[in-house]
Structure 1
Amino acid sequence: MTDSLHPFARLDPSRVVAAVESLGFWLPGEPFALNSYENRVFMLHDDERRRWIAKFYRPGRWSNEQIQEEHDFLDELAAADVAVAAPWRDDGGVSLHDAEGFRFALYPQISGQAPELDNPAHLFALGEVIGAMHAVGEQQGFSHRRRLDLDEMLSEACEAVLASPWLERRQRQAYRQVTDELQRALADRGWAPQANIRVHGDCHLGNMLGRDDTFGLVDFDDCLMAPAVQDIWMLLSGQQSDEWQMQLSEVIEGYEQHREFDRRELALIEPLRALRLIRHSAWLVARWADPAFPMAFPWLAESRYWDQHIRQLEQQRRWLDPPMP
């Protein structure tokens, strides 16, 4: 069941407008809700025709200190001419604002389209902007945001799924078996990233926008300390070896315009893929009380989804097997 009294249920358009106008803006039109689930995000324009993105943070997810580190990182990146949208600050330098119990921030809108991963020029441009971001990210570390810990994050996600009511008994047994095997395989493979730096954390196509082979990065909500390859592996979508190698070559060539990439981190791609598969389902389970989730992901409650998910994990388990001698 969902909880109709979820905090975001109170975040209607009038409250969004009132929150933004409390900062001294005047909004002549209604905010437009964007496709965001973890937080609530709205596009709007002010009386000077400037376009803004208003991001209302999910209550209880991040501390003020963690959000502030996100904002400060964006300021560093913008100062280094990396293509990101730094948060608006008031005359006192404040970027994280409060209204009726909601914490929110304003960002100038970055417009454009998602890149095409079969376009070499786009891949080069994506590598270039990620490399420029990492060149700044390695200069210091986060103090409050998470560090990518494979064992800890896998355990958290598996426990969340197993504690949920969605799996049938046979599915629960199969899920436990395959995730135990995955964790053992990952432990045998080893998890020793050469270096953790500040990274975006969620570099999928929806968080990269641009045109004419120039792209910017948006939504740093998941930024953390992690190996550089965390921001690269999702760009490598090729199903055939030659296609995959082409994508990797273009991304790394662009990346190394700003920073050297440690090729040893490529061995972390399949462990990171396994982590993302498991955490995605755990995320859906954890957010089910938010009314937006049952509407957007109704198949979570279907038995066939969990059968398919278990098969995915079994396939990923085979990818982690060592090559035959």
Structure 2
Amino acid sequence: MEIPGKEFYNRLDIDSVLTAVEDAGFPVSGHCLALNSLENRVYDVGLEEGGRLVVKFYRPARWTLHQILEEHSFLKELEEAEIPVIAPLPLENGVTVRETKGIYYTLWPLQKGRLVEELTEENLPILGRLLARIHNIGSSKPSQHRLNLDLKNFGEEPLRFLQEKAFLPKFLQARHEAACKQIFNRYTEVSKSIPLHRIHGDCHKGNLIHTKDGFCFIDFDDFVTGPAVQDFWMLLPFGDSRSDYERELFLSGYKEFREFSDTWFDLVEPLRGLRYIHYSAWIAKRWEDPSFPNAFPHFGTDEYWEKETTDLERLAFQLPQSTEERSPASRSEESELTNKDFFWDLE
């Protein structure tokens, strides 16, 4: 079935971008720079009167209009609570989403800041307090349209897609499925009593910047209803005494504003497993997009699936990780998994 707007989206050019911005009421200078993003098309655009803004074109058929508007509504709630986030610019009649040739797009203020490379002992409690405030707003009312981070959406359906489309080589299919099913069982077991609410959903350091006013979380494109700990494990270190100490510093700030049970950390390993499965399906579903084979040249090879299966088995059966294992997401020369191995996007 042909997806409306798909062809235009894949061939989006500078003239179309500038025209869309002008149609939204912002005369442009001609400056247009594509930003580093895979899931969406994002551009830095100069304005005729000076200054710049960011325009984001949403991938066709990924989110419905209601789901996009709910993202914007959540950001507005956070902004009104004086939590540092970046909310979209209101356009004519207060709308935040426009459509051009079958795809939705939104304009955003350009927020200057630098990416956060390392989290210091001083910064960890500050970030804990900030994330707790985000979760307080997130738990204040339910989501109506966004996905739930649950076994069906982030485990069973992605696995079914990979199997039905025969992405895995036959010699790994049984091992891969056995590891996935073990992770599913563990997730079901430990998630029963853990509360769910609106969360960032993709909370890694790539979505955290430091501005002149302090830290600011960006890119709520993947916000979901899920457990609070989902917003912890990609941001915080895990695995040794030093990381335990840093996690406690973070929690000392978080608990000033919101309760957190240490038993919720039992969900981290199953969440990692779901992330692996969902990540591979995410790439597979977008393989026809020319940017994806370039970004993931090793995806789909026997080596890729062997590494992914081994990593899933390690998570499922608590096996030790060898020094030669590498993440299925990056396939880099690193010997250990790091939080960046689980990024959805490069934005």
TM-score after normalising by structure 1: 0.90
Provide the rounded CA distance (Å) in 1 between the counterparts of 2:77 and 2:282. Answer: 30
Name the counterpart of 2:90.
Answer: 89
- Within 1, Cα distance between the matches of 2:139 and 2:170? 46
Q: 1:91 to 1:320 in 2, by over 3 A?
A: farther
What is the identity, as a one-letter code, of the residue corresponding to 2:274?
L
Do 2:54 and 2:110's aligned partners in 1 also have CA atoms closer than 8 Å? yes
Kindly indicate whether the alpha-carbon contact (under 8 Å) linking 1:115 and 1:122 is maintained by their aligned counterparts in 2.
no
* Distance in 2 separating the partners of 1:19 and 1:177: 48
CA contact (8 A) 2:184 2:270 kept: no
Percent identity for Structure 1 against Structure 2:
35
Aligned counterparts, 1:227-242, within 5 A? 227-240=227-240, 242=241
CA-to-aligned-CA distance 1:38-61 (integer Å, 9 cap, x gap) = 111112232343332211111111
Spell out, residue by residue over 1:303-324, the C-alpha distance to the aligned partner (whole angstroms, 9 max, x if none): 2111111111111112399xxx
The higher relative CO (CA closer than 8 Å, separation ≥ 6) is in: 1
Closer, same or farther: CA 200–180 of 1 in aligned 2, 3 Å:
same
User: 2:76–2:87: 8 Å Cα contact kept in structure 1?
Assistant: yes
- Tell me how many residue pairs correspond in the alignment: 316
Counterpart of 2:17 in structure 1 is 16
Pair 1:270 & 2:269 matched:
yes
Q: State the alpha-carbon separation in 2 of the partners of residues 61 and 42 from structure 1.
A: 19
Other-structure match for 1:244: 243
Compute the displacement of 1:260 (Å). Answer: 2.5
Q: Deviations 1:5-51 (Å, cap 9, x if unpaired)?
A: 74422211111110011011122133211121111111223234333
Deviation at 1:259, TM superposition (A): 2.2
Give the C-alpha shift of residue 121 in structure 1: 2.4
Counterpart-to-counterpart distance in 2, 1:318 and 1:113:
39
Amino acid at match of 2:266: A
> Structure 1, residues 95-131: CA drift from partner, whole Å, max 9, x if none?
0111222200111122222224452223223222211
CA contact (8 A) 1:154 1:278 kept: yes
| Corresponding residue of 2:337 | none
Q: Is the 8 A contact 1:27 1:45 kept in 2?
A: yes
Whole-angstrom distance in 2 between the partners of 1:144 and 1:96: 16
For the pair 1:198 / 2:187, whether they are aligned, the reply is no
Alpha-carbon distance in structure 1 between the residues aligned to 2:191 and 2:81: 32
Distance 1:224 1:207 in 2: 15
Say if 2:56 is the partner of 1:61.
no
Q: 1:157 to 1:138 in 2, by over 3 A?
A: same
1:106-159, Cα deviation, whole Å (9 max, x unpaired): 111222222244522232232222112112111111111111212442111111
Ranges of 4+ aligned residues in structure 1 off by more than 6 Å: none
Task: State the one-letter code of the partner of 1:305.
Answer: Y
Equivalent residue of 1:28, what SS?
A: strand
Q: What is residue 119 of structure 1 aligned with on the other side?
A: 120
2:260 is aligned to 261
Letter in 2 for 1:166: F
Give me the whole-angstrom Cα distance separating, in 2, the residues matched to 1:162 and 1:7.
30
Q: Give 1:12-161 correspondences, 5 Å limit.
A: 12-161=13-162
| In 2: Cα distance, 1:124 partner to 1:115 partner | 15
Cα distance in 2 for partners of 1:234, 1:224 equals 15
Would you say the 8 A contact 2:8–2:101 is kept in 1? no
Judge which range, 21-30 or 199-208, deviates more.
21-30
RMSD: 2.2
Please say if residues 125 and 214 of structure 1, whose CA atoms lie closer than 8 Å, have aligned partners that are also in contact.
no
Farther-moved stretch of structure 1 (278-287 vs 113-122) = 113-122
- Distance of 2:272 and 2:213 partners within structure 1: 27
Q: Tell me, which stretches of 5 or more residues in structure 1 are unaligned? A: none
**1:295 CA drift (Å):** 1.2
Q: Residue 184 and residue 198 in structure 1: after superposition, are their counterparts in 2 closer, same or farther (change >3 A)?
A: closer
2:164 and 2:60 map into 1 onto residues whose CA distance is 22
The normalised TM-score by structure 2 is: 0.85
Is this contact kept in 1: 2:187–2:267, CA < 8 A?
A: no
| Equivalent position of 2:165 in the other structure | 164
